[in-house]
Amino acid sequence: MWAVEILQGNIKMSEYKFSEDQEKEIATIFAKYPVKTSALLPLLTLVQRADQLVKPEAMVAIGKKLDVSPAYVQSVLSFYTMYHTEKVGKYMILFCINISCQLNGSDKLLEHTAKKLNIKVGETTFDEKFTLHREECLAACTEAPMMRVNDTYYGNLTEQRIDQIIDLLD
């Protein structure tokens, strides 16, 4: 068992390269803070937006930029729910099920959405187009029930509206 893990550790990871544009963006991010580590969350977000996940080699690269260990990067990353280390679909559907949405029938609507996408909550569709997650309150309680698809909020959901939204995404 140890041998396996040792191997894992020793597998030479390919070096992660930031694109030129990313490097430029990183420079503007750094300029915001007097202390480098503050750029950690923004850098993780940057990488994830490009790759749809954060790979171990990216953690190493970010650690190098910020002078922290890759373990530190992973420790921080794993604390936040918005970072993924496994690939997710092109559209990430976060379905709020917290109190205000619950009171407005979100559980049923979530079920409906899952059925429509033909997956279970937490899964990604076979064509890697949609990932469906249960989500805690997204600060749009007055528009409950609501969901967030990538960066867009959709409120006052009904079954029909959900179908429409999903059908319009390509």
Chain positions contacting other proteins, by CB under 8 A: 1-2, 5-6, 8-9, 32-42, 44-45, 56, 59, 66, 68-76, 78-83, 94, 97-100, 102-104, 136-144, 148, 151-152
Burial class (CB in 10 A: 0-12, 13-18, 19+), 44: buried
- Minimum distance of other proteins from residue 147's CB (angstroms): 11
Q: Is 123 left (phi over 0), alpha (psi -120 to 50) or beta?
A: beta
Minimum distance of other proteins from residue 126's CB (angstroms): 26
CB closer to other proteins out of 80 and 126: 80
Closer to other proteins by CB, 106 or 113: give it.
Answer: 106
Q: CB 101 → other proteins: shortest distance, Å?
A: 9
From residue 168, give the alpha-carbon distance in Å to each of 92, 120, 143, 149, 164: 15, 21, 21, 12, 6
Task: Give the nearer residue to other proteins in terms of CB position, either 114 or 140.
Answer: 140
Cα 72 from Cα 77, distance rounded (Å): 8
Q: How many CA atoms lie within 13 A of 33 on its CB side?
A: 14
Please identify, using beta-carbon distances, which residue of 79 and 127 lies nearer to other proteins: 79
Smallest distance from the beta carbon of 109 to other proteins, in angstroms?
Answer: 15
Under 8 Å between Cβ of 146 and 96: yes
